[in-house]
Each structure stands twice: as C-alpha cells, then as structure tokens.
Amino acid sequence: MTTCSLSFPPQINLARLPTPMQPLRRLSEKLGVELYIKRDDLTGAALSGNKIRKLEFVLADALAQKADTVITCGGAQSNHCRATAIAAAMLGLNCRLLLRTPDPSDPPPTEGNILLARMAGAEIVWITPEEFKQRDELMEREAGQLSEAGRKAYSIPEGASTALGALGYVRATEELVNDITNTMGGAHQHCTIILAAGSGGTSAGLILGTKIFDVNARVVSINTCDDRDHFLQAIGGICEDAIAGFHLDIDFDRDRDIEIIDGYVGRGSGLSQPTELAMICKVAQTEGIFLDPVYTGKAFFGMVEELKRDPKCFGERIIFIHTGGIFGLLPKAVELEPYL
C-alpha cells in the first residue's frame, strides 16, 4: 500500500461508500478490452453521483463557517445543483440555485433535477447564458443581499470544482486502489481511468489521487463541453491550487498529466445527438446500467468510438467512472423513444 502526503480537512458523511466496481462482461467482449465501471452513480438515491464526494468536504467547510444558506449555480438540469439542494436540506441549510436558461421569463418545466431540487426546498433564480458568464460575481451579489438581511451565505463554485471539492476524488482514488487490487489481481496492474469532464474537479481529484496513492493508471477525461484548452486550464488550475493549498509533495505537469479527449461534445453541452442516445439505450439493454445524456453518455460514446478506431488505445484494462446523472434522462423521454 502507498503512503499519502495529505492530511484531509474535515469531511461530512453524505455518500454511500465504497461504491461498487463491476466488470461489464458483455461490453468487454464486444470491445475487446477488460472494461470495469466504478458505480459512483450509486453514492445514494436522490442524493447521488460524483458531486456528493466533493460536497462532503465543501459543505463541511460551509458548516465550519456557520453558514445558514448555500448558493451555487449550474445548467437548468444541473446534477450538482440538485445534489447541493438535497444535501443542504439534510443539513438544515437553505439553498439558492442560479440556474442557466435561454429565457428566464419562460423557464423550463419542473422535471428531473429541477423537480428534486425544488422538492428539497431550493430557491431557484433563473439567469441567462450571458449572465452565467459572470456567475461567481452573481453569487457574491446574492450572498451580499443575504448578508444585509442578517443571513450568512456560503457560495460554492460551479460543480464544487475547487481544490477542496477535488479532495473528494482524491479520497475516491483510495477506494480505487482497493477495487483494482480486488478485481484485477493486484494494486499495480496498469489501467486507464476514463471519465466525463464538466467543470473539471473530478478529473483533478483523480489525477492528484493517482499520484498521491501511486496508482499505475492513466486518467483520461472526455470533455462534454468547451474544448481541450479550456480543460487544461480548468483542471490544471484546480490541481495547482490543491498542491499549493494542501502542501502536496507531488510532481505535477499540466501538459504531461492532463489527458483530454476532445471531439465528443456533439451538438453542445446538454444537447444530445442520435448516436449518443442510441449508445445510452444499448448500454442499458446490454448491462442494465443507465448512463446520463449530459456527461456519462457522451463520455462513454467517446470511449467506444476511440476503441473502434484503435482497440488498444487505452491498454488492456479500463475503469469507466460512472459519475451519475440519471435524473437528466427523464426530460429526454421523447428524444429517447426511437431507441427503445
């Protein structure tokens, strides 16, 4: 076993851990690789997915700062916002969400993640894509207004993708060491960890974690929005902040350590194309696993396309991180219908 140069800050227990790692036997056979899936979609039921691991650290900090309200932001069907709303309700905190929509005067229907967030009592402020570009300033403005009203707000950047949030996936890497030992017959078996990148915190945590725990793995992120350069900056910034902030004694180089596969954003963030939806249905039919349309569906589709091009491009063993998002499927029922 490896040593860890990090003493973790306080964390609250929100996720059901450890999550299972399962072989995908039928897909492995079809794709000609050993394919495993790390079920972080099973960190809980309504409170589920990758964000919970990050929120364990971030909300511990909010409580330590005596906040009574958390503010965060995301797309209309944000999994992170839904998870934050539910976790806030569990902790007795108020929650205000800044959600992006083309026309705030005509917001999307209350379904999927929006429904769950509202049921958990979150207050929703609809903002335009243009306003979303200034999201951090807008959250600070909201926090200022709450403070004038005698409340104490804590702002969580998009996706809880900060150095502190990324620690959730440093911790997850500890779990992966056990998973690799138990399922692949030894901690030092080489594998490629593949995941969807949205705001970059999960990727940053895994990159740092594989170094801290000396895991013999490549971490490959498939961007589901923006492009490679954006993610080099985003993930690189989070890793460097964590290294400085937590005094991590590791050797990190953006260009060497961040691997992004670009080219699978498709029609755009949150928008699906037929090939992605067909793949999501195929995986559900073949393995009984539900990918989401915004993140994991695009990343899994990208991984399969890359394997079609070169079956050995990721080596012999792959761990696909299922980061959750099942509620994003519900508003897509009509689009999914042709593939059922």
Ligand X SMILES: Cc1ncc(COP(=O)(O)O)c(C=O)c1O
CB of 257 to ligand X, least distance (A): 16
Question: Near ligand X by CB under 6 A, which window of 93-101, 176-184, 237-245, 317-325?
Answer: 317-325
Question: Token digits for 155?
Answer: 């702002």
Q: Contact letters (x/-) for ligand X, 38-77, by CB under 6 A?
A: -----------xx---------------------------
Q: Which of 44, 112, 168, 200 binds ligand X (CB under 6 A)?
A: 200
Q: Which residues contact 322 (CB under 8 A, 6 or more apart)?
A: 37, 38, 39, 40, 41, 289, 291, 296
325 part of the interface to ligand X, by CB under 6 A: yes
CB of 211 to ligand X, least distance (A): 18
Interface of this chain with ligand X, residues 158 to 187, rule: CB under 6 A: 159, 161
Residue 273 near residue 298 (C-beta atoms within 8 A)? no
Q: Which of 44, 112, 168, 201 binds ligand X (CB under 6 A)?
A: 201
Strands 34-39 and 21-23: antiparallel
Whether residue 18 has a cis bond before it, omega within 30° of 0 = yes
Q: Rounded to an integer, what distance in angstroms lies between the CA atom of residue 292 and that of residue 187? A: 30
Tokens 């509202």 label which residue?
118
331 part of the interface to ligand X, by CB under 6 A: no
Interface of this chain with ligand X, residues 205 to 244, rule: CB under 6 A: none
302 part of the interface to ligand X, by CB under 6 A: no
Q: Rounded to an integer, what distance in angstroms lies between the CA atom of residue 44 and that of residue 330? A: 18
Please tell me which residue in 48, 78, 161, 199 is annotated as part of the active site.
78
Tell me if residue 199 is catalytic.
no
Q: Rounded to an integer, what distance in angstroms lies between the CA atom of residue 89 and that of residue 23? A: 35
Residue nearest ligand X, Cβ-based: 198
CB of 181 to ligand X, least distance (A): 25
Question: Token digits for 225?
Answer: 């929005």
Cα–Cα distance list, 16 to 19, 40, 171, 246 (Å) = 7, 9, 13, 26
Sheet-wide strand order for 94-100: 123-127, 94-100, 69-75, 153-155
CB of 168 to ligand X, least distance (A): 9
Is the Cβ of residue 11 or residue 72 nearer to ligand X in the bound state?
72
Is the Cβ of residue 54 or residue 96 nearer to ligand X in the bound state?
54
Q: Is the dihedral of CA 191, 195, 199, 205 positive or negative?
A: negative
Question: For ligand X, how many residues bind (rule: CB under 6 A)?
Answer: 20
Sheet-wide strand order for 317-322: 21-23, 34-39, 317-322, 191-197, 217-223, 259-261
Q: Which of 122, 197, 318, 319 binds ligand X (CB under 6 A)?
A: 197
Q: Which of 324, 329, 331, 332 binds ligand X (CB under 6 A)?
A: 324
Is the Cβ of residue 165 or residue 184 nearer to ligand X in the bound state?
165
Task: Indicate the SS3 state at residue 115.
Answer: helix
CB of 196 to ligand X, least distance (A): 4
CB of 95 to ligand X, least distance (A): 17
Residues that bind ligand X (CB under 6 A): 49-50, 79-80, 159, 161, 196-203, 292, 295-296, 323-325
Catalytic residues: 78
